[in-house]
A = this chain, B = another copy of it.
Amino acid sequence: MKKSKEETAKTRKKIIQVAAREFRRRGLHETGVADIMAAAGLTQGGFYRHFNSKEHLVAEACGASMQELVDSVKKSIQSGNDAFLKHVERFLSNEHCQDLLSGCPLVFVGSELARADHETRKAVSEGYRGLVEAISNDERYKDSSTARAEAIFILSAMIGAVTLARIADDGKLSTMILDETRKHLMALHPNIAQKKNKDVVPVAQAQK
């Protein structure tokens, strides 16, 4: 049952998308090839028509997740409308802590990525660089020569906060970690803080 080239490409894409979700949900090591294929509506045997190994899929899936995130940030920043504020709000929400559809791999499989092969780390690192660029290109930072440095710091704080909020065994503590981090980041950036009480978008709405 050979498939057309378009169908093959579609299947490959589907596997990557499903894998990206499953990896975030259950972890890189705990998610099996058979699980992913089943979730994509296929059987495990066909996997190796698309990928040389599970590791290659890990690299592609994590890279794709990162790229999706970068595109989302870039797109909404270009559209203006306090896009960056929305992203900080959304990133530091309880919803993102549980969101496996568009969650950030740096949070959901962060410590596993540090042990991943070179290909995976390269793909993810490129995504990270893209995020830094996207954030530092935000209009409110245009004049600042420290835009990159600030973007790096903001990302560290956000990713650490969500990582910790996901570990915490107490919902109140999780919320506190997210809230305090958001407040501090807001305080860091007066032009964001100014807007804060005007037109903050509810988290659920900010979720694309």
Q: Whole-angstrom distance between the alpha carbons of A70 and B205 in the complex?
A: 39
Residues of B within 8 Å of A204, CB to CB, are none
Tell which of B30, B124, B152, B167 touches A167, judged by Cβ atoms closer than 8 Å.
B124
A114 and B169 contact, CB distance less than 8 A? no
Q: Which B residues are in CB contact (< 8 Å) with A159?
A: 160, 163-164
Binding site for B on A (CB under 8 A): 26-27, 29-30, 106-115, 118, 121-122, 124-125, 128-129, 149-150, 152-153, 155-161, 163-164, 166-170, 173, 176-177, 180-181, 183-184
Complex Cα distance, B168 from A124, in Å, reads: 8
Known contacts A27-B112, A149-B180, A153-B157; 6 additional CB pairs below 8 A are A27-B115, A30-B115, A107-B111, A125-B170, A156-B180, A157-B157
Given A29-B27, A153-B180, A161-B156, is A168 in contact with B128 using a C-beta cutoff of 8 Å? Answer: yes
Nearest B residue (CB) for A112: B111
A114 and chain B: residue at smallest CB distance:
B166
